[in-house]
A and B are shown apart, each in its own frame.
Chain A
Amino acid sequence: MAAGGGGSCDPLAPAGVPCAFSPHSQAYFALASTDGHLRVWETANNRLHQEYVPSAHLSGTCTCLAWAPARLQAKESPQRKKRKSEAVGMSNQTDLLALGTAVGSILLYSTVKGELHSKLISGGHDNRVNCIQWHQDSGCLYSCSDDKHIVEWNVQTCKVKCKWKGDNSSVSSLCISPDGKMLLSAGRTIKLWVLETKEVYRHFTGHATPVSSLMFTTIRPPNESQPFDGITGLYFLSGAVHDRLLNVWQVRSENKEKSAVMSFTVTDEPVYIDLTLSENKEEPVKLAVVCRDGQVHLFEHILNGYCKKPLTSNCTIQIATPGKGKKSTPKPIPILAAGFCSDKMSLLLVYGSWFQPTIERVALNSREPHMCLVRDISNCWAPKVETAITKVRTPVMNSEAKVLVPGIPGHHAAIKPAPPQTEQVESKRKSGGNEVSIEERLGAMDIDTHKKGKEDLQTNSFPVLLTQGLESNDFEMLNKVLQTRNVNLIKKTVLRMPLHTIIPLLQELTKRLQGHPNSAVLMVQWLKCVLTVHASYLSTLPDLVPQLGTLYQLMESRVKTFQKLSHLHGKLILLITQVTASEKTKGATSPGQKAKLVYEEESSEEESDDEIADKDSEDNWDEDEEESESEKDEDVEEEDEDAEGKDEENGEDRDTASEKELNGDSDLDPENESEEE
């Protein structure tokens, strides 16, 4: 499986560190790093499962490793009548890991117990072990070494079963045939041995440099009509040191054919190869080759006879760091190993440094010829011992996250202009005043501009400054005006504001209300003034609902806890202020633009009380808004309590009931109606 390579002195030693995924579910990834440590990682959560340092890790570094075939543990016991569920499930436990060392010994390490299981020395190799292969089912282990020999070990007794000379030079790679009866070995040339007799069955040309990996790619011959003897017709793959070509060979019945059937070309020397076996003729072999340059090449090919041209990869995977800012350029992150998951549709990638590799499962998309994954592994460098024990992961919570609190737009659905049906209803309701009001507004605006000069003489209000601020959206100018605490000043300014600026002002106030609570307190004063003074104007606007929807929601959410109290309070305030306002406007010198209005109001003066009450019910929508700030007003609180007291005297039931009715009206404002239909 893994290409070995510890000793860097040998130029013909394969590159890359010995590493391997555990068989079957690939739950673990074992990596023997050059510092002599064996580390086993959990692939599912990228956690260091265990670390083992062989006692002679400096003299005899690990050169190759191989997982033992999975052992199945008996975990289920039959169901019994009394307690229905008995069995404990845990399947395919992998345990033993064989490590070959540079001095020729082989260690068997138990990953379950976390300790050395046994050491195979006596009668074995006296030089660097190059490759280890476990036999699938007989409990044997095959190893090959620089001492030119191949050794068959009996794992049960830890003794040498057989030892024979495999080549004239060092033997660098081994592979066992799918049926378990043949063995491939390779130095530079490749030999196929019959395991029973230890005789050479076939020779293959091999590579110019030592073969670093050998692998069978098929388990059935392509031509199924012929009787299958277990080996004839099978394909296998070989990769060699310093060789950018992977060759595919076919075991043939006739002895003469010795050259490769086809080859795959990659960008650099292969360091780790994994493939999915094709089980039938139609299913392509999928091959993942990790190269020394840190790229993964994926091939997908149906093996079928000769192919002269070397095949290039279907897909290349690279990993790079995100280049932060303009200065740093993205750097490639080397991929150490890649293994196919059991569903054959995704790939486990191991990348980063061998000290702290990251393991990720990547879904394969065969259509893309090139995949470049951007990964930030900068925070992976610090070894996280703490998390290794507690297994707690803390997701990132930073200030960039969006925060939605009640009242902020986005927390509640935005109030869209009502659908046509409801608009008709609305327009019916408001049609009377609608057209007139436009004229009125135009007129008022005209007057307004004319009169501005006169008003400027008064220094106790800033309508002009505020208007200019709103028009130019000048933050400082607005601040200057809006951050005042003088209630009188606010009142006067609002009173003199031209009507067309009311809506922009309200929107500005809404924006500020959403901000810091301190500034919101100031804004409440403003809002209150605007709403009390310009309630009548606002109620004439046809598109009021969408325009002030957010403000409404904001206040609605903020006054939720004291709903009834604030409703009552708001109602009373409105009554009182309107009464006083109307009285004031009667007597006081009103701004020129109001002259018209005064006339109108006078006409209805006799029945003022009733009318105001009527207005109330109409203006309920505004009321609600008003309640919010009144509730925040500390100075009015006393009044509040008084009001409440009165309320109780009057008999709460009736009052609240009527209130509810009114509220019901107000709640059934256009936006709600539209939702329900």
Chain B
Amino acid sequence: MVEEENIRVVRCGGSELNFRRAVFSADSKYIFCVSGDFVKVYSTVTEECVHILHGHRNLVTGIQLNPNNHLQLYSCSLDGTIKLWDYIDGILIKTFIVGCKLHALFTLAQAEDSVFVIVNKEKPDIFQLVSVKLPKSSSQEVEAKELSFVLDYINQSPKCIAFGNEGVYVAAVREFYLSVYFFKKKTTSRFTLSSSRNKKHAKNNFTCVACHPTEDCIASGHMDGKIRLWNFYDDKKYTYTCLHWHHDMVMDLAFSVTGTSLLSGGRESVLVEWRDATEKNKEFLPRLGATIEHISVSPAGDLFCTSHSDNKIIIIHRNLEASAVIQGLVKDRSIFTGLMIDPRTKALVLNGKPGHLQFYSLQSDKQLYNLDIIQQEYINDYGLIQIELTKAAFGCFGNWLATVEQRQEKETELELQMKLWMYNKKTQGFILNTKINMPHEDCITALCFCNAEKSEQPTLVTASKDGYFKVWILTDDSDIYKKAVGWTCDFVGSYHKYQATNCCFSEDGSLLAVSFEEIVTIWDSVTWELKCTFCQRAGKIRHLCFGRLTCSKYLLGATENGILCCWNLLSCALEWNAKLNVRVMEPDPNSENIAAISQSSVGSDLFVFKPSEPRPLYIQKGISREKVQWGVFVPRDVPESFTSEAYQWLNRSQFYFLTKSQSLLTFSTKSPEEKLTPTSKQLLAEESLPTTPFYFILGKHRQQQDEKLNETLENELVQLPLTENIPAISELLHTPAHVLPSAAFLCSMFVNSLLLSKETKSAKEIPEDVDMEEEKESEDSDEENDFTEKVQDTSNTGLGEDIIHQLSKSEEKELRKFRKIDYSWIAAL
């Protein structure tokens, strides 16, 4: 039994992945991307989502690795906070409250305790780059109010800001200006494209900028497709060279880690790699499917990734080979087909890539595949009128798929094609059976199969704006050469030249309802005789559906004037009507219930009702602030058992709906707590990998320094009697990472504890020991250097520092001891 809570609207997938540049982890194992209010951590190998970091209360606008600790991640959001995460375990470490809306985030290894953010100054469209000092504190929430201004009047997009030459300067572009701010000199140089007024160069405004990691070189992308490479000799003197391949705007630029090559991408959906910054040496990775919006490079330099406008991230190897695709629900374009359920795979089906139908698994929130319906090379260019897949329907338990594609260049030049695909069980795939050119003279408005179980002949009905509806049936096309079946038109119906707007079959397939603008006509599906008409004069019919099971005698129609009518087919009279501006009306295939979503100025409301009862079963107000475009009932594999009347409609099916911004939402009754508890139960298996030969080499190297260490295994290395006895170390190692104060703060205390235990130890040895501790936590060996540096830094500066943090008793004790120690040895170093 499921604990019954309130029904809540939950987002179940299809969140945006391409809003900002994705960020790689230092070892290229993970990739981070912002997704609405969350940060998602994906594995670059398996494309699986490892963690979802949630905590922000508004759109996350930027993420960056912590330059001081590559196992941590900073994120900033419109809610005015910067959060620090431990992404391996998915834990929030710290929150810095800045207060104003943050639009982008940059970190710099050279600026240790501050990050850069883009904030919005008074006027709505003026943005500033400011540096925020992140105070050191042990508490979870820290106010970070210390902002220092860096650059004014910049573009909002983070693509227009870049830090270069190891943080010596920052470059920002806006319109025709390139401004460079030098941190040391605190001066800004501004360069204007001289030819900007020129007609020939009318479209050369800046779109993005990237800085060479080690040299004084800035690459800027332009509207006209050119890339300019600026080389500086001086603050004022520069030369630039031009690289031109893109014919449309350069969307993003990125230098490789070493700076030897430059990557660029745009609407052509081709990733271009410029080697040695010359026009001759370029490599391409074409056919990436959709406009490249962002490019990022892993810190290790082995991977690139491109974010695309169709909500996917492609992970690309250094040798320009795509290795993985992280694909969300494709949401590049508008959804014409609506939501459907493939009876065979139980997947959600809707428009996908251009000319494709996407099959999306709701259970695993993953795209299964794209079915290429149009089968034409997609040319990604501005202003081209493409063939659109406008309608699709499944029939006969998934054995048939009907698709309609259209292309309309001008009012009169309509190209229309309907394809009927048969599912071939032998090859487990769809095969084109019949192709119909111009099935109607005007756009097809509705398409439906007769899904009655005992119908002997597959039947399809198309309704069109040309005033006709056509009935297509499957007939035997066999001749002496082959056995074949094909679709032919069986009947053409019309009603006084009105436009046919909707059609649907009754559950048993005996009746066909076709709406002609304001009028609903009922046809006998055997003789195709017009049985009766209903007309309410309440505006054009927007939705039409029959009741099911016990309510099969009812026909429901929702009109554009906001009236929902229910007709009784036995008495041929209006049963009831209600004032409801219905946007979406969907019958549940497993019950009598019908869900209607109404649209008002405040938001969308859900009504679930049975046609036979005047009172709705369930009402939920305000399910979404946006317009709801489509909805669908998805039958459950295993029925739930809600007993309370209000939730019974969710027992056998689940209702999904798609809003205008194309987020897929559903209803859930489980309380958030219930969903959360299993995490504590989840299997926590520690990573313990056996030693590799490489590890043995490293291990031997250490043995020379410390004779006491055991020879063989790391397990024994860990069990050093030395370190285990010291309480400070055990405290440090056994306290969860998210409650620890910052590493820099702990460091002095840590070093101190080691000093107390061993008087003879030299300062050099100490970090080595520390390193071994770190090793246990399976960190990289190059951490070693960082760590020694840090130790020295903090021990020098830490003395003078004012400790304002709240300390525990034991820590205070430690600190007291710490004061008493003689630090003269440091001077001797």
Contact = CB atoms under 8 A, between A and B. Distances in A.
Q: Do A and B come from one complex?
A: yes
Interface of A: 25, 27, 42, 44-47, 49-50, 68-69, 71-80, 82-91, 95-96, 108, 111-119, 121-122, 137, 139, 155-158, 322, 341-343, 358, 360-361, 373-376, 379, 387, 389-398, 400-406, 409-414, 557, 560, 675-676
Contact of A114 (B46, B327, B679): B46
Nearest to B372: A394
Contacts of A387: 369
Contacts of B487: 402, 404, 410
B436 A404 contact: yes
A158 B689 CA distance: 10
A86 B11 contact: yes
Given A74-B676, A84-B624, A410-B488, A395 B432 contact: yes
B323 interface: yes
Contacts of B58: 82-83
Among B324, B363, B438, B475, find the residue whose CB has the most chain A CB atoms closer than 10 A. B363
B399 interface: no
B365 interface: yes
Interface stretch (B419-427, B699-707, B818-826): B419-427
A675 B666 contact: no
B8 A79 contact: yes
Contacts of B665: 85
A341 B678 CA distance: 23
B9 A85 contact: yes
Contacts of B489: 404, 410-414
Contacts of B682: 71-73
B684 interface: yes
Nearest to A363: B397
Contacts of B672: 76-78, 87
Contacts of B54: 77, 88
A389 B637 contact: no
Contacts of B327: 391
B371 A391 contact: no
B37 A83 contact: yes
Given A376-B426, A379-B427, A402-B435, A75 B675 contact: yes
Given A89-B13, A404-B488, A96 B432 contact: no
Contacts of B52: 73, 75, 88
B428 A156 contact: no
Given A88-B52, A401-B435, A118 B679 contact: no
Given A72-B682, A343-B638, A374-B426, 11 more contacts: A27-B363, A73-B678, A76-B675, A119-B688, A342-B637, A392-B356, A394-B371, A396-B432, A398-B432, A402-B477, A413-B490
Given A90-B364, A401-B433, A675-B493, A96 B678 contact: no
Interface string B437-479: 1110100000000000000000000000000001100010100
A619 B685 CA distance: 89
B194 to A, nearest CB: 44
Nearest to A77: B54
A85 B663 contact: yes
Contacts of A114: 43, 45-46, 48
A121 B681 CA distance: 25
Contacts, number: 278
Contacts of A389: 322-325
Contact of B430 (A87, A139, A396): A396
Among B11, B491, B638, find the residue whose CB has the most chain A CB atoms closer than 10 A. B11
Interface string B747-760: 00000000000000
A68 B683 CA distance: 8
Contacts of A409: 488
Contact of A72 (B324, B433, B675): B675
A44 B347 CA distance: 9
Contact of B363 (A25, A95, A376, A403): A25
Interface in B342-373: 344-345, 347, 353, 356, 359, 361, 363-365, 367-373
B637 A392 contact: no
Nearest to A118: B688
B50 A119 contact: no
Contacts of A379: 427
A92 B43 CA distance: 18
B114 interface: no
Nearest to B622: A84
A404 to B, nearest CB: 4
B57 interface: yes
Contacts of B50: 112-113
A88 B431 contact: no
B493 A155 contact: no
A625 to B, nearest CB: 19
Contacts of B689: 116, 118-119
A376 B427 contact: yes
A89 B12 contact: yes
A50 B45 contact: yes
Contacts of B675: 72, 74-76
A139 B427 CA distance: 42
Nearest to B492: A413
A74 B52 CA distance: 9
B38 interface: yes
A134 to B, nearest CB: 9
17 contacts: A42-B368, A72-B679, A75-B52, A83-B58, A86-B11, A89-B11, A95-B683, A111-B48, A112-B50, A113-B43, A156-B684, A157-B688, A360-B428, A375-B428, A410-B488, A412-B470, A675-B493
B361 A44 contact: yes
Nearest to B680: A74
B418 to A, nearest CB: 9
Given A86-B37, A118-B687, A401-B435, A395 B46 contact: no
Contact of B429 (A79, A95, A122, A395): A395
B29 interface: yes
B202 interface: no
A115 B10 contact: no
Contacts of A72: 675, 678-679, 681-682
Nearest to B623: A84
Contacts of A111: 46, 48
A85 B13 CA distance: 11
Contacts of A413: 470-471, 489-492
B124 interface: no
Contact of A71 (B353, B428, B678): B678
A201 B371 CA distance: 56
A42 B367 CA distance: 11
A88 B488 contact: no
A398 B488 CA distance: 19
Contact of B10 (A44, A86, A139, A410): A86
B666 A89 contact: yes
A676 B494 contact: yes
B371 A410 contact: no
Given A343-B638, A391-B325, A391-B368, A88 B686 contact: no
A374 B437 CA distance: 33
A458 to B, nearest CB: 40
Nearest to A344: B638
A118 B714 CA distance: 14
A78 B672 CA distance: 6
Contact of B13 (A68, A88, A116): A88
A546 to B, nearest CB: 15
B486 interface: yes
Contact of B364 (A25, A112, A116, A360): A25
B11 A87 contact: yes
A44 B345 contact: yes
A599 B434 CA distance: 54
Contacts of B441: 560
Given A79-B8, A393-B372, A89 B622 contact: no
B736 interface: no
B370 A393 contact: yes
A400 B682 CA distance: 54
Contacts of A113: 29, 43, 45-46, 48, 50
